[in-house]
Amino acid sequence: MRMPLDYICLKSGVLCPRCRRLIDEGVVKDFEVDLLKALIELEEKNPEFKFLKESTYVKSYHVNNFCVILLETPDNVTQHNLMRLSKVLSDKLNMKIRVVRRVGDMKMMIAQIIAPARVHGVDLLWLPDGSVQHIVRISRYDIRSLPTSLENIEKLLSEVFGKSIRVKVL
């Protein structure tokens, strides 16, 4: 797997000056080191996740006890494989983890993050001060199937996309 930190640094637990600088500057967060170690172990030891060898780690986002990992994966990797990886990582690290394929379409990425809840639409709201807010519409029946609370979903989506995102319940 291609990742921002060196393979040897992650395996040994001793970080070289370049990897330490990436963590100190905030490019890579402390919790991501544990995630990367777990991903390396799964890539090496579990044949079910051999697709990780051709994948690229993009970034992880963490809010409370919920984490989203963005990966660039080959086209032959199914959503079922990513959900299975999410389950194994969640059990291993004792937190709710969602592995998401990075795609260009905002709606598709949001749908992967909040699955099994469904996205009814993503709208733009132009505010009087000239800023833009994205509104994600979901059904009120899907609230109970969200992976975490609405507030955490809003924080997480805003962090992932770098835009102001609000979830509206229909």
Q: pLDDT digit string (tens) for 25-75?
A: 988 888 888 888 988 888 888 888 888 888 898 999 988 888 999 998 888
The 3 state secondary structure assigned to the chain is CECCCCHHHHHHCCCCHHHHHHHHCCCCCHHHHHHHHHHHHHHHHCHHHHHHHHCEEEEEEEECCEEEEEEECCCCCCHHHHHHHHHHHHHHHCCEEEEEECCCCHHHHHHHHHCCCCEEEEEEEECCCCCEEEEEEECHHHHHHCCCCHHHHHHHHHHHHCCCEEEEEC
Distance of alpha carbon 37 from alpha carbon 25, whole angstroms: 20
Contact assessment for residue 19 and residue 9, using Cβ atoms and an 8 Å cutoff: yes
Q: Work out the average pLDDT over 161-167.
A: 90
At residue 137, the pLDDT reads 92
Phi-psi region of 13 (alpha: psi -120 to 50; beta: other; left: phi over 0): left
Residue type, 121: G
Please give the pLDDT value at position 87. Answer: 92
Q: Which of 160, 154, 115, 156 is nearest to 136 (CA)?
A: 154
Express each pLDDT in 138-152 by its tens digit: 988 888 888 888 898
Domains with residue ranges and CATH for the chain: 1-102 (3.30.300), 105-170 (3.30.300.20)
Which residues fall within 8 angstroms of residue 158, CB to CB, at 6 or more apart? Answer: 164, 165
